Amino acid sequence: MPAIGTDPVRTLFTFLDADRDGVLGWGDYHHLAERLVQHYGLSDGAYETIALRSAYTLYWRALLAGGDGSEQVDEKTFFIAHCLTDPGPVFRALNGIVHAALTIAGAGPENRVTDMECHQLLTTLGVAAPAAAQAFVWLDSDNDGKVGCAEFVRAAEGFFLLRDHSAPGAVLFGLYEPPPPPP
């Protein structure tokens, strides 16, 4: 569990910075897309593969756009990129990842996934199984047993803009630390 007072965006940065050198590189995102491509058995040329890789790449380029021109993103740049009150390119790119990931996870034309499809998606990205189950409950805000893009975006807004740790807004980066269940 994050320490009380720790900002969720800083928690995500620390989580993504796996080698603890204080900066993020493309590799910290690239492996997420590749996990999904491999798990779902997608070919390089498949539309879904191209859409997903493009979505993560656009997100990465949007982060870099706020940086110093290098191919790395430090914590300050990362923080500022996610703190805009008027969601900008980073948020739009995040929306693109949501769409691409849900398509791969089995969302049909209605763009929504079932509990099982969502669970498989999140655990493939590295979210622990119990946390993935809790994330679905949070995400399914209208309780219809499926989650769609708007419900994922609501979680992202909660996590990045409202700084709500309980919002599963970073699940597409493999992070969710749900609050402990009530006693």
> Which residues lie near Ca ion (CB under 5 A)?
17, 19, 21, 140, 142, 144, 146
The smaller minimum CB distance to Ca ion, of residues 34 and 140, is found at 140
CB of 140 to Ca ion, least distance (A): 4
Tell me the closest approach of the beta carbon of residue 22 to Ca ion, in angstroms: 7
Strand locations in 16-105, DSSP E? 23-24, 73-74
CB closer to Ca ion out of 17 and 177: 17
For Ca ion, give the closer residue by CB, 71 or 144: 144
* Least spacing, CB of residue 39 vs Ca ion, in Å: 23
Q: Closer to Ca ion at the Cβ: 16 or 94?
A: 16
Closest separation in Å from C-beta 177 to Ca ion: 20
Is the dihedral angle over the CA atoms 126, 132, 135, 136 positive or is it negative?
positive
- Closest CB 37 distance from Ca ion, rounded Å: 22
Going by DSSP bridges, is the β-strand pair 23-24/73-74 parallel, antiparallel, or unpaired? Answer: antiparallel
CB 102 within 8 A of CB 112: yes
Angstrom distance (rounded) from CA 68 to CA 4:
31
Q: In angstroms, rounded to a whole number, what is the distance separating the alpha carbons of residues 52 and 30? A: 10
SS3 113: strand
Amino acid, res. 26: W
Q: Which is nearer to Ca ion, 46 or 166 (CB)?
A: 166
